[in-house]
Amino acid sequence: MDPLAGMDDSSTDDETASQTTEDDPQVPEQSHIPPPAPIVPLPPPPQPAPSTSAPQRERPHYQQRHILRGHTKSISAVKFSPDGKLLASCGAETVAKLWSPETGEFIRNLAGHTEGLSDIAWSSDSLSLATASDDTTIRIWDVETGVTRKILKGHTKWVFCLNYSQASNLLVSGGCDGDVRIWNVARGKCMKTLHAHLDYVTAVHFNRDASLIVSCALDGLIRIWNTSNGQCLKTLAEGHDAICQHVQFSPNSKYILSTAHDSAIRLWDYQSTRCLKTYTGHVNAKYCISACFSVTGGKWIVAGSEDHKTYIWDLQTREIVQVLEGHQDVVVAVAIHPIQNMIATGSIDNDLTIRLWTDRGRGLSA
Amino acid sequence: MNEALINPFHTLSHPTSIQTTLPAAALFAKFDPSGRFLATGRHNGAAEIWDLETKNDIRCLDGHVKPVTSVDWSRNSRYVLTSSKDWNIVVWDLASSCDPPQRYSTLRFDAPVVSASFHPKNSKIILALLTTGEAYLCDTRKGSKSRTQLHEVVDGERAGADSGSSRRSYMTVARFDPQGKYIFIGTSSGTLLVFRTRTKTMIARHKISGANVMKGLEFTRNGHRLVTNSSDRTLRQFILPSYAHLETPTTSTPTTAPHSPSSSPSPQPPPTQEIWEQDLEPTHRFNDPINKTAWHAMSFSPDGEWLAGGAADSAAHKVYVWDLSNDGQFVSALDGGREPLTHLHWHPKKSITASTTNQGNIHIWHCPNPERWGAFAGGFEEVDENVEYEEREDEFDIEDEAVLLERKMKAEEEDVDIDTIAVATSPPSNEPAFSKFNTSKAGTPAPNGDTTATLGTTPQDGLGGTGRSDSPGDMAMHVDVSIDPDALWAEEDPDDDVPGGWRMKVLMEDTDDSDDEHDKVGLTMIIS
């Protein structure tokens, strides 16, 4: 079932990379991990009929399942493939790594960049992976063979973030030169350069039909762009000294979710420029920390934190419903499995692990 | 979904300038129903699919040995049909992952094919028109495989009888209506024949006086209006009558009463088997009064409020635009340079048209929005002129922070919906037949409001009677659609073209020139 099983693993230049640990000695209270069991189609457990009067909400019950060791420098991004079969991660070393979310096994390295990596993105067919590197290029990889299909050159400084469009014919990237570039994936050529910001562009994201791009930068602004003509449609400025770190459209593209350095995550209605929800309680004042929508079970917002924890909020009530502890350093990267109740988190300097957390279904909302 | 941000007033203007030109070597170009792709037909027998987002040719469908005469898209863009002068129609499946895509099926005829189209509800039903002036309805479904010639029934003759065929005129254009319920065929003698798709029988004949040879037919998306192109160099717009009274006898009695317009020769609706003969009077005639140019093609805007006509000018590329919501007033003649126009098609959703030149280039026209510089400043709003600011009574009152916070928290109580995708984002063609009638983008959800509202209150000759009597007819059609035997028939044994059921795979071109090109750039920089 693993598409890469049995493939030549000659690119595994890092022998220690394939080690996975099923228990974590450092976190004894969460060390009880049952042997790997097929967790794919978990039928939702029989739920008592939700009483209409009781306002108590379902809570998630994520538990640590795997620790993925192998990165030797700070992790910058983790992403599940859209079909859920692979997990890709990257960090300050020059390779991107592929893992099996099912077993936690290391699968292969994607080696070719000459500098560290800041971001990765999957094409919607899960066959290609794009990586953004400090060597100013973006590489598009054939995941099955591990071969570089395209090298996208154009950015004049480090490439910091990137994302595919839903149709995967376009790629958008943001660089430390303040530019946002739109790429033609089939040709590997830059179609458009938007001089979008005056500082590092820290996140870029397409909406569902790829008609809009949202970007944010260390200049503190969130901007929305018309993909077809490159015009700026709107600028959202977060209040005061809240410099936005990460921004993305909601799954239906009606809202955007932003994380900012005032330790707040905000959900915006970008049409009316209104902040609809604010999620607080975590610590975020220094690092670029991403947040995620989780819609496989209940509706949660998930984000890392500088207090080494990962926080899960209820989308509607804005309450913290679970805190995942285990990492030994700042959790900067977080990703949500597209089908199962699974979270991947990645940490930096003193930790360098990726942890996979699963919710076995007790907390599924009806 | 994002229209409000891109186009805050929800107006669909007409395109005004060329955004880009695709060097496609094409004879014509047609948008797919989603508006993401463009299919072109070429003189060498190939057809190409272009991605409008990347402006790239992404597929080459090479299956004919003579020029392609028409292309058509299935409703969710999965299948593409090409017809050619090599006597064949080829259906292609774009969901196949190999490049070039494999042909899905081939239909062979005994003469060159002039045009072909998919049934709007099932791509396994194909309408073909041959150079011999014959039209065929080809049903390729397993249970009902058939190829039926559509015969014009002439006076005093029953369908199927062969005598008097000399009096029949050549069929010069054949189209399904947008619901696929009827087939409209234009003839060389200036008549419009209407066939019922399901029974393949002719039900009506409309004489269009002065039209001569019919050259083209286009419908508005809701199927209420039709524009014809004919050899008298005039485009005519008609409001289509309802054919509901030509149904089976059981339903004919209640629905027909409003339908026998005073101009109809027979006051009583004809029995089912007979042909409804009626002259249609156009609501508008569009022509070029000065140059008297003929028209190569015409196309409605998605909301049916604009009509674009491609002039058959031998020395210029001219697209004429008329405003149908403003009584068909001529709006502008867009100049596309010196390469004469051969084909024109309007985007299914946006204010974009594609016009093809005789050199094979495709001009993509758009309506440029002016850059709004205010968009770069957060929290600022542009105003058209100076406004005297009036301060609210409590505007600068200092409020207790706790109260402020509480108010903010309260405002955030409201539930948000992050993952339901609004229905409007899916193309209207995906929707069931009944709602399709109401998805007119003109913003007139009332079923009978469309024709009257969009055409203004001072229609030209003949509209008064037809237009008004038509409205109840729409109602009748609505009732009819919900139990529509025609739709049921068409949706039997459906094709695999389900909404969201396939994805156009992005094929990466194996051009290892990224490094070479880099060098070239370096070289040119040195030279300059």
d(CA B317, CA B300): 19
The phi-psi region of residue B405 (left if phi > 0; otherwise alpha if psi is between -120 and 50; otherwise beta) is alpha
Contact of B375 with chain A, judged by CB distance below 8 Å, is answered with yes
| Contact with chain A for residue B102, Cβ under 8 A | no
Residues of chain B with C-beta less than 8 angstroms from the C-beta of A151: 514-515
For residue B343, being part of any structural domain is answered with yes
pLDDT at residue A90 tops 90:
yes
- Predicted confidence at residue B377, as pLDDT, reads 80
Q: What is the mean pLDDT of residues B477-500?
A: 72
Residues in A closer than 8 angstroms to B382, CB to CB, are none
Domain that holds residue B300: 288-369
Residue B312 falls within a domain, yes or no? Answer: yes
Q: How confident is the model at residue A181 (pLDDT cuts 50, 70, 90)?
A: very high
* pLDDT number for residue B476: 40
| pLDDT for residue B501 | 78
Quick check: is A190 in a domain?
A: yes
Point out the residue among A150, A224, A299 whose CB comes nearest to the CB of B5. Answer: A224
**What's the domain range around A188?**
63-358
On whether residue A37 sits in a domain, the answer given is: no
Compute the distance between CA of residue A246 and CA of residue A161 in angstroms, rounded to an integer: 10
Residue B419 and residue A236: Cβ atoms within 8 Å?
Answer: no
Q: Which of residues 281-300 of A touch B (CB under 8 A)?
A: 293, 295, 299
Is the CB of A26 inside 8 Å of chain B's CB atoms? no
Instruction: Summarize the confidence of residues A32-45 as an average pLDDT.
Output: 43
Q: For residue A52, what pLDDT is reported?
A: 44
| Coil, helix or strand at residue B299 | strand
The mean pLDDT of A254-269, rounded to a whole number, is 90
Higher pLDDT, B477 or A299: A299
> Could you tell me if residue B62 is inside a domain?
no
Residue B164 lies in a domain: no
Residue A56 reports pLDDT greater than 60: no
pLDDT score of B156: 54
pLDDT score of B262 = 40
At how many degrees (to 10) do helices B463-482 and B249-256 cross? 140
A44-53, A207-216, B91-100: which is most confident? A207-216
Q: Is B419 close to A252, i.e. CB distance below 8 A? A: yes
Q: What average pLDDT score do residues A346-360 get?
A: 90
DSSP symbols for B178-245? TTSSEEEEEETTSEEEEEETTTTEEEEEEE-TT--SEEEEEE-TTSSEEEEEETTTEEEEEEPPP-GG
Considering chain A, what is the average pLDDT of its residues?
83
- Residues of chain B with C-beta less than 8 angstroms from the C-beta of A150: 508, 514
Instruction: Count how many Cα atoms sit within 13 Å of the Cα of residue A72 in the half-sphere of its side chain.
Output: 11
**Is there a contact between A186 and B518 if contact means CB atoms under 8 Å apart?**
no
In chain A, the largest separation of any two C-alpha atoms, in whole Å, equals 59
Q: Is A20 a residue whose pLDDT tops 50?
A: no
Residue of B36, B418, B506 lying closest to A185 (CB–CB): B506
pLDDT(B154) > 80: no
What CA–CA distances, in Å, run from A146 to A3, A361, B187? 12, 34, 60
Residue A202: which pLDDT band, with cuts at 50, 70 and 90? very high
Please indicate whether, in this complex, the C-beta atoms of B412 and A170 are within 8 angstroms of each other. Answer: no
Does residue B489 sit in helix, strand or coil?
A: helix
Share of chain B above pLDDT 90, in %: 31
Answer whether residue B436 shows pLDDT above 70: no
Do B237 and B284 meet the contact criterion of CB atoms below 8 Å apart? yes
- Average pLDDT value over all residues in chain B: 77
Q: How far apart are CA B7 and CA B74, in angstroms?
A: 29
Cβ–Cβ contact A192 with B under 8 A: no
Bigger pLDDT: B359 vs B158: B359
Q: Domain with A191 in it: what CATH number?
A: 2.130.10.10
* Interface contact B503-A237, CB threshold 8 A: no
The residue type of B115 is S
Count of domains observed in chain B: 1
Separation between Cα atoms, residue B222 and residue B19, nearest integer Å: 28
Q: Given an 8 Å threshold on Cβ–Cβ distance, is B414 in contact with A276?
A: yes
Determine the average pLDDT of the residues in B316-345: 90
Per-residue pLDDT reduced to its tens digit, B266-301: 444 444 467 888 888 889 899 888 888 899 999 999
CA distance A108 to chain B (A): 22
Chain A residues with CB inside 8 Å of B412's CB?
Answer: 275-278, 318
- Percent pLDDT > 70 in chain A is 82
Smallest Cα distance from B404 to chain A, Å: 14
pLDDT in tens, B454-485: 333 333 333 333 333 333 434 444 444 456 78
Q: Is B314 a member of any domain? A: yes
The shortest C-alpha distance from B501 to chain A (Å) reads 13
In this complex, is the C-beta atom of A136 within 8 Å of any C-beta atom belonging to chain B? no
Calculate the CA A289 to chain-centre distance: 10
The predicted pLDDT at position B5 comes to 61
Residue at B98 is within a domain: no
Report d(CA B394, CA B396) in Å as an integer: 6
Q: Is residue A18 part of a domain?
A: no
Number of domain units in chain A? 1
Residue B398 has pLDDT above 50, yes or no: yes
**Distance to chain A for B224, nearest Cα, Å:** 30
Q: Do A186 and B511 touch (CB under 8 A)?
A: no
Establish if B357 belongs to a structural domain. yes
Predicted local distance difference test score (pLDDT) of residue A53: 42
Say yes or no for a CB contact (<8 Å) between A212 and B5.
Answer: yes
Question: To the nearest whole percent, how much of chain B has pLDDT over 70?
Answer: 74
Residue B273: its pLDDT value, please?
61
In chain A, residues 200-229 whose CB comes closer than 8 Å to chain B:
207-212, 221-224, 226-229
Interchain contact A16–B (C-beta under 8 A): no
Answer whether 0.90 is exceeded by the pTM.
Answer: no
Mean pLDDT of all residues in A226-248: 82
pLDDT in tens, A96-126: 999 999 998 999 999 999 999 999 999 999 9
pLDDT of residue B512: 53
Task: Give the nearest partner residue to A232 out of B2, B376, B503, using CB atoms.
Answer: B376
Dump pLDDT digits (tens) for B211-252.
Answer: 889 999 999 998 899 999 999 899 999 998 888 777 654 433
Residue with tokens 């028409």: B70
What is the average pLDDT across B74-100?
89
Q: Decide if A184 and B369 are in contact by the 8 Å CB cutoff.
A: no
